[in-house]
C-alpha cells in the first residue's frame, strides 16, 4: 500500500521509515488509520504528490501533514476552517508537549 519509490515515498534508511520527531511517527500512524476509514490511500497519495511538487524544499512530513488535511477536507470529514483552527491550537502548545 505505501509507496516505496516516486514523489510520495517517505524517507527511509536501510529500508526503515525515518522520523525525526515523535509527531511524525504519530502522524504516519493516524494517516494509515484514516486511509482505512475516512479516505482512500490513493486519494491521500495524490494530495501528497501535489504538496511535494508545490514546494520540494518543504520538509517531507510537513507536506505529508498538509496532504492529510487536504484529504480530510476533500472527504468532508472536517471543514478547512476547523482544520486550520485545530492546527493553530496544536502549534500554540509549548515545545516538548506530548500531543
Residue 32 has a pLDDT of: 94
Per-residue pLDDT tens for 12-27? 888 888 899 999 999 9
| Contact between 71 and 34 (Cβ < 8 Å) | yes
Q: Is 1 part of a structural domain of the chain?
A: no
Catalogue the long-range contacts made by 74-80 (C-beta closer than 8 Å, 24 or more residues apart): 74/39, 74/43, 74/47, 75/38, 75/39, 75/43, 77/38, 77/39
Per-residue pLDDT tens for 43-82? 999 999 999 999 999 999 999 999 999 998 888 766 778 7
Which range of residues forms the domain containing residue 43? Answer: 25-91
Q: Is 97 part of a structural domain of the chain?
A: no
Q: Is 52 part of a structural domain of the chain?
A: yes
Q: Is 10 part of a structural domain of the chain?
A: no
Is the pLDDT at 7 greater than 70? The verdict is no
Which helix (H) or strand (E) element contains residue 40? none
In whole angstroms, how far apart are CA 93 and each of 65, 78, 87, 99? 17, 21, 10, 9
Domain count within the chain: 1
Q: Is 60 part of a structural domain of the chain?
A: yes
Amino acid at each position: 500500500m505505501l509507496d516505496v519509490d516516486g514523489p510520495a515515498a517517505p524517507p527511509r534508511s536501510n529500508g526503515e521509515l525515518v522520523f525525526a520527531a515523535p509527531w511524525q511517527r504519530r502522524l504516519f500512524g493516524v494517516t494509515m488509520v484514516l486511509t482505512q476509514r475516512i479516505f482512500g490511500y490513493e486519494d491521500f497519495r495524490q494530495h501528497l504528490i501535489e504538496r511535494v511538487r508545490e514546494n520540494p524544499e518543504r520538509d517531507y512530513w510537513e507536506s505529508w501533514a498538509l496532504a492529510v488535511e487536504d484529504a480530510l477536507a476533500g472527504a468532508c470529514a472536517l471543514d478547512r476552517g476547523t482544520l486550520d483552527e485545530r492546527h493553530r491550537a496544536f502549534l500554540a502548545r509549548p515545545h516538548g508537549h506530548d500531543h
